[in-house]
Structure 1
Amino acid sequence: MAETLINLLLERLASVTVNRIGRELQLVIGVDDEVANLSRNLRLITNVLQDAERQVTEASMGEVTGASVGDWLNELNQVSHEMDDVLDEWCTEILKHEQEGVNPTEALEIPEGSNKGGIIETAPRTKEKFLTKEECFSMEVKGADEMLELPSSNSFRHFTLMFASQGLSSILSSQNCGNLRTFTTFASTIYSIEPEFITSLKRVRTLNLSSTALGVVPKEVGELLHLRYLDLSDNGFMELPDKIGDLYNLQTLRLVRCYNLLKGPDLRKLINLKHLYVQGSLRLESKGISRLKSLQTLDEFHVSEDTREEGLLEDLENLDKLQGALSMQHLASPLQTVSGAKRARLNTKRLLHLELNFRCDCRRRIRRGEAEGAILNALKPHPDLESLSILGCRGATSTPTWLMSLPNLKRLTLYIRYLEDLPALGTLSFLESLDIKMTDKLQKVGVEFLGINRISSSSSSEVISFPKLKHLTFSFMDEWKEWEEVDSQNIRIMPCLSSLEVRNCRKLKALPEFLWKTPLKSLTITSCPILHSVYYGSERCHWTTYGEKPAPINEGFNKISHIPEIRIGYEF
């Protein structure tokens, strides 16, 4: 384990000497010699560790005696961790000066017992790579008045506190916490954390205080300069201290479901931040997010509703490393513009899952429909997109112009209030789930929805509409009256369809016959009085497959009776 850590330290030093010697490290007088000496020492320790670990293994097999070998190895482990801390402090100091705009020609004094250096590009270090059983420790709080204390051994690095139900200072002494790299809580309600305890975690890399009913975050958290991972999710605090914005080494920040959080730190100094999670913290506006060019994960982007300084669509412009999933909230805010939406350049970010949510609580919501529709058209995503949700858009009468240029789309949700027609969605070869809801103007779903003409004109092979569609849902379509029938003799329609739901479509007169040729396994028709009559014989009904069949059985019921699971009636 220690050997692995030493090798990682050597990689960091190599990064320093090769990549930064011409710039940041010129700030430090004599830094070349410091790096060379530290590298030599690390290589010597590596050789000693290899020999020591061999001796420990042989001792455990009875080949070598002497209990001191294990102690010796632990001491070397401790030294390697201390070296790691020195490197971290060294690099953080240079990064801090860079962010504060210190003149790079000014030499920095090296405090006694510490080093300084430039930014280093470290490879991600996973716990699995060098974590040992002896380094992990957990404590379970059993009594309300019980005071716990970590063992005095220097080998413990990763600590988990379980089932605590009061302030940390009441149950856990800060003594012996100085060497911890990980501090996490599990099923604990601790309410508050004393500044002294946070200060004692001076070497911690991972701090997880999620779901602890934490009411106030101590500002001392911002002094944990080694911190890489901070999780404060599912807590009730209303603001975060500004000093959290000084955590230069932070790579992951989780603030999920912090519903009361109104004020967050300025993020612009967190240039190493790669993962930011704020889902559910809808009142939080991310300040300085436009500077986070290393950001790879952003689960929600909260568009500003009341300030022109933060939370604008153009803040995403230079975040080209974004990938995975992104939910964009409050897009109908009057502060957003079409030019800002274009500058967001979503098509350059390899997002696979995208939610465009126009629902907005502000009273000054965009009144000009064409503006909201234009913003939707300007937010063209990456062509690799697999999942798309458009929610609450009131300013468009058609789907965005780029929708049919997403060849890999698998899941699609459309909630466009004044949608008048549907495009040829049947031509999307990989679409598996389609949900269309809350349209006030759509009156007819025609054959163009199946894309038959486009398919037949572009291919001489068998014509298949919606070749992979499995789940189809229509709901709350107040004016929808007709779903056009089509002669399916020379075409296969929805050959994989297993689930169909039609909810609150009160004017729809009938479902097309081609649906009964699909391999449907589940059919749900709720709050659609005309369809109730057609397929059950009564508007007011509440029937499932396991209930008593209608008497007399009508023609409509015979058409659907082969489907294994059926629900017809008002909401179940």
Structure 2
Amino acid sequence: MGGLGKTTFAQLIFEDAEVQAHFDKKAWVCVSDPFDVIKIAKEILELVEEEKTQDCSIVSLQKLLKSIQAHIKDKKFLLVLDDVWTEDPIKWDNLKLPILMQTCAEGSRILVTTRKQEVAQMMRATSDMIMLDKLSHSDSLELFNSVAFRGREQDKSNKGFGDTAEKIVRKCGGLPLVVKTLGGLLLHKGTIREWEEVLNSEIWKVKVVQEDVFRPLLLSYYDLALEIKSCLLYCSTFPKDFEFSIEMLIEQWMSQDYLNVRENSEETTEGREVFNKLVMRCFFQDFQKHALTKEIIGCKMHDTVHDFVQYLTQNECFTMEATCTHGIETSSANDTTKPRPGDKVRHLTFKNASSISSIVNCEILRTLANFDSGITSIDSNLIRRLKRLRTLNLSRNLIWKVPEEIGDLMHLSLQTLRLDGCEQLAKLPDNMGKLINLKHLQLRGCAALRYLPKGIGSIRNLRTLDGDGRVYCSEDAEALTLGDLSMMNQLRRLSITIERIGEDAATMDDVLDALQPHENLESFILYGYKGSTWPTWMTTSYLTRLTAFYLESSYSSVLPPLGKLPSLKVLKLWRIAHLEEIGGEFFGIEETSSSSFPSLETLALSQLYSFEKWELGRGEAQDSSNSQMKSISIMPRLSSLYIVKCRKLKQLPDFLLQNAPLQNLLNLSSCILWQPS
């Protein structure tokens, strides 16, 4: 049964310190269904060689397996195969697991999680099989209380809550997923009467597929607001075990108009609140956090929860799977008869397809997405028929050109176009400016894209322009220029490469000065800046709301006075080749200053190979005992300091360890540091 904790148990083993120390190489692969031997081999290789491989569609299985063997030869190797469904030995033979394990050192192991005893029999592992049992009542109650009474210790001691909790937990049947889900539901209900309503709900009597798990999930689902329900159900358009990017998920909720945006609020803010509410209800798990900001940036959905949302959306969401070179097979969430899409299908996902040319009832589609495919082209006639499409996801495919016909749909409702990872894409349609409702254009990893078409500057609603597209400094008849950006006043996220052509092109200093952002900018990444000075808007406290600033691969020898920024929480300086010294200009201290970096919590200095001197200032200001300096608060909230590969740095400034409430002094590698007593 799903929800017993098989994956969680395996994770505890995988992450155990003794296990980590015992094995030289480790790989965790979610196999799931359908069984894709190329995908599995590719993931194993990426994990053992610790870097991304080239696109799996152009790598043979034999080459992948040989590369894996080379990386695990004579090493103790732990391979976890999570969520295995197929017991077909022919499919497993293609993965050559016995040969791989013969390559490893003695003591290597394979750990498998599955719901099916037939899988253990096929792998000849029945003698080493662990059957997980349901939780005892006492363990279930302890788990429930840890979720439902989080931050409510006074209620935990209340007999009324305690008695009701006992009865609710008995209905959970010892399933950890159910216990956590109901705990998350009741965390937000503050009266005993509300708890009793859950206990006595008619939903417990509903007959549904996998009723032991689905009925408690229904209780939590029906308690959600309408817009939150819509956002949860949209997750069924993604494959099982998909690693969600929170940014992408919110972006697609926005495209479907699911978010109820309040006055004076941003859609992204509302989206984050919706996500957080779903997290608290235990609909997501396996969270990934940003290394510096600690904000959740990625997650997964438990496969049983995924089955549940697919169960609720089986008439509106469809998955089409290619079963051969020339055909596409259709399947719905929980229907093994695999009918063709009906009149109600709004969101269509296709997998393992090399081309897509004909879809039944495509005129009513709102989402068309692909996963694990190698599409080389899109039929122009199909594009013309997608009149209600809001999200088109063609990421990580082999297409080299988007059909011009996409711009002919002048009133197209398309709001999100994802082309990231399409490495062979060289050109976008010149008439893209006609996509008047487009809000998000994702082009990350489109290295072959020569330029962004000028028409993009006409898309007034564009919120996200993110990727490798080039924007030109000098005027160009076809390309988007810096001047065109001035008309795009709805942009919330801008990631571009600036191209300078000709001797008369503006200098880097002029370019950055002209790119003055809105004063409410919250995060800023500057990569490859070769200017000799900093623009005025970076030398004052103009960016009052800036919370994160990353300066990467810069050629400057002097830093801007970032200490003046009142809201800056995260600062990362990385690979600044000519930076030898951090001095007074960095702290932005003036005669009237009372503080420097008043909000900074995390500071990361990485690969500053010329960096050798770090001082508060020059002359008298350098003396931390100076009466003027004593009255200035410097980095009062700094809690985490990362210093990585700063080989010439030998000393930290006195104020840093004397005044800042450092909790983490992390990753001090390749440095020789003196710390004051």
Instruction: State the TM-score, normalizing by the size of structure 1.
Output: 0.54
Quick one: which of 506, 509, 527 aligns to 1:373? 509
In 2, distance between residues paired with 1:337 and 1:161?
A: 53
Distance 2:452 2:462 in 1: 13
SS of equivalent to 1:268:
helix
Contact 2:320 2:328 (8 Å CA) reproduced: no
Structure 1: how far apart are the matches of 2:393 and 2:586? 45
Question: What SS is found at the alignment partner of 1:198?
Answer: coil
The reply to whether residue 393 of structure 1 matches residue 529 of structure 2 is yes
Q: Tell me, yes or no, if structure 1 residue 218 matches structure 2 residue 376.
A: no
Question: How many correspondences in the alignment?
Answer: 345
Q: Report the CA distance shift for 1:127/1:408 in structure 2 as closer, same or farther (over 3 A).
A: closer
Matched, 1:208 2:369: yes
Q: Which of 546, 551, 558 pairs up with 1:421?
A: 558
Question: Are the equivalent residues in 2 in contact too, given 1:158–1:181 (CA < 8 A)?
Answer: yes
The AA in structure 2 aligned to 1:274 is K
Give the structure with higher Rg (CA): 1
Q: CA deviation at 1:125?
A: 6.9
Q: Deviations over 1:434-480 (max 9, x none)?
A: 112333333322233223325xx15xxxx332111111122233332
Q: Give 1:341-356 correspondences, 5 Å limit.
A: none
Q: Secondary structure at the match of 1:212?
A: coil
1:269 aligns with 2:434: yes
Q: Deviations over 1:508-563 (max 9, x none)?
A: 231111111222122235554543xx4xxxxxxxxxxxxxxxxxxxxx4x84xxxx
- 1:382 maps to 518
Structure-1 residue corresponding to 2:355 = 192
Residues 463-504 of structure 1: CA deviation (Å, up to 9, x unaligned): 332111111122233332211154153333212111112223
Q: Deviations over 1:319-360 (max 9, x none)?
A: 2222x211112x143269767xxxxxxxxxxxxxxxxxxxxx
1:196-255 C-alpha deviation (Å, 9 max, x unpaired)? x23652333332234433232122222215233222122222222222222331322222
Q: For residue 523 of structure 1, what is the aligned residue in structure 2?
A: 665
1:299 matched to 2:461: no
**Native 8 Å contact 2:318 2:345 kept in 1:** no
Judged with a 3 Å threshold, the aligned counterparts in structure 2 of structure 1 residues 258 and 414 are, in CA distance, closer, same or farther, namely same
SS in 2 for 1:412: strand
Instruction: Confirm or deny: 8 A CA contact 1:303 1:313 kept in the other structure.
Output: no
Alignment partner of 1:317 out of 486, 493, 497: 486
| Aligned CA distance change for structure 1 residues 259 and 220 (closer, same or farther; 3 Å) | same
Structure-1 separation of matches of 2:327 and 2:636: 63
Match of 1:245 in 2: 407
Aligned to 2:605: 474
Asked whether 1:442 is paired with 2:573, we answer: no
Aligned-pair distance for 1:507?
A: 2.4
Determine the structure 2 residue equivalent to 1:118. none
Cα contact 2:512–2:535 (8 A) shared by 1: yes
Residues 1:308 and 1:477: Cα distance change in structure 2 (over 3 Å): farther
Is the Cα contact below 8 Å between 1:398 and 1:420 reproduced in 2?
Answer: no
Question: Which moves more between the two structures, 163-172 or 385-394?
Answer: 163-172
Which residue among 167, 171, 183 is the counterpart of 2:329?
A: 171
Instruction: Write the distance in 1 (CA, Å) between the matches of 2:505 and 2:479.
Output: 17
Cα gap change, 1:276 to 1:387, in 2 (>3 Å): same
Contact between 1:178 and 1:203, CA under 8 Å: does it hold in 2?
Answer: no
Q: Secondary structure at the match of 2:493?
A: strand
Return the alpha-carbon distance in structure 1 between the equivalents of residues 315 and 446 of structure 2.
32
Q: Using the alignment, how far apart are the partners of 1:231 and 1:238 within structure 2?
A: 15
Whether contact under 8 Å (1:300, 1:328) holds in the other structure is yes
Q: Percent identity between the aligned chains? A: 33
Letter in 2 for 1:386: E
Change (3 A) 1:163 1:380: same
For 1:304 and 1:422, the matched residues in 2 are separated by: 26
Q: CA deviation at 1:128?
A: 9.2
Which digits, 9 at most, give the CA deviation of each residue in 1:23-70, with x for residues without a partner?
xxxxxxxxxxxxxxxxxxxxxxxxxxxxxxxxxxxxxxxxxxxxxxxx
> Structure 1 residue 280 and structure 2 residue 450: aligned?
no
Is 1:256 the counterpart of 2:420 in the alignment?
A: yes
Q: Which runs of 5+ in 1 are unaligned?
A: 1-122, 130-154, 340-370, 535-555, 560-572
Instruction: Choose from 455, 475, 496 the match for 1:328.
Output: 496
Indicate the SS of the match to 1:452: coil
Q: Secondary structure at the match of 1:290?
A: helix
How far, CA to CA, are the matches of 1:495 and 1:127 in structure 2?
Answer: 41
**In structure 2, how many angstroms separate the alpha carbons of the residues matched to 1:510 and 1:156?**
62
> Gaps (5+ residues) in structure 2?
1-253, 261-312, 332-337, 617-621
Asked whether the equivalents of residues 426 and 449 of structure 1 are also in contact (C-alpha less than 8 Å), the reply is yes
CA contact (8 A) 1:199 1:220 kept: no
Q: Tell whether the 8 Å contact from 1:156 to 1:179 is kept in structure 2 after alignment.
A: no
Report what 1:498 is aligned to: 639
CA contact (8 A) 1:501 1:525 kept: yes
Partner of 1:453, secondary structure, is coil
For 1:181 and 1:337, how far apart are their aligned partners in 2?
A: 55
Work out whether residues 463 and 493 of structure 2, in 8 Å CA contact, stay in contact via their aligned partners in 1.
no
What is the CA–CA distance in structure 2 between the aligned matches of 1:219 and 1:334, rounded to whole Å?
34
Q: 3-state SS of the aligned residue for 1:399? A: coil
Match runs of 1:14-29 below 5 Å: none
Describe the shift of the 1:259–1:126 C-alpha distance in structure 2 as closer, same or farther (beyond 3 A): same
Matched AA of 2:413:
L
Root-mean-square deviation over aligned CA pairs: 3.4
Partners of 1:397 and 1:416 within 8 A in 2 = no
What is the CA–CA distance in structure 1 between the aligned matches of 2:326 and 2:315, rounded to whole Å? Answer: 19
CA pair 265-503 structure 1, distance change in 2 beyond 3 A: same
One-letter identity of the residue aligned with 2:404:
D
Equivalents in 2 of 1:431, 1:393: separation in Å?
20
How far has the Cα of 1:402 moved from its partner? 0.9
- Alpha-carbon spacing, 1:436–1:175, altered in 2? closer, same or farther (3 Å): closer
Q: CA deviation at 1:430?
A: 0.8
SS of 2:348's equivalent in the other structure is strand
With over 3 angstroms needed to count, the CA separation of the structure-2 counterparts of 1:450 and 1:156, relative to structure 1, is closer
**Secondary structure in 2 aligned to 1:299?**
strand
Q: CA deviation at 1:175?
A: 8.9
Tell me the residue number matched to 2:319: 161
Indicate if the aligned counterparts of 1:163 and 1:189 stay in contact, CA closer than 8 A.
Answer: yes
State whether residues 198 and 220 of structure 1, in contact with CA within 8 Å, keep that contact through their aligned partners in structure 2.
Answer: no
* Aligned equivalents of 1:304, 1:124: Cα separation in 2: 25
Counterparts of 1:219 and 1:226, CA distance in 2:
13
SS at match of 1:303: strand
Decide whether aligned partners of structure 1 residues 296 and 425 sit closer, same or farther in structure 2, where only a CA change above 3 A counts: closer
Alignment map for 1:402-413 (pairs within 5 Å): 402-403=537-538, 404=540, 405-413=542-550
Output the CA distance in 1 between the equivalents of 2:508 and 2:670.
31
Separation in 2, partners of 1:390, 1:337: 24
Q: Which has the higher helix share?
A: 2
User: In the alignment, is the contact (CA less than 8 A) between 2:443 and 2:469 conserved in 1?
Assistant: no
Deviation digits for residues 78-136 of structure 1 (CA, Å, limit 9, x no counterpart): xxxxxxxxxxxxxxxxxxxxxxxxxxxxxxxxxxxxxxxxxxxxx9874799xxxxxxx
- Aligned equivalents of 1:399, 1:504: Cα separation in 2: 26
Structure 1 window deviating more from structure 2 (406-415 vs 222-231): it is: 222-231
Contact 2:319 2:330 in 1 (8 A): no
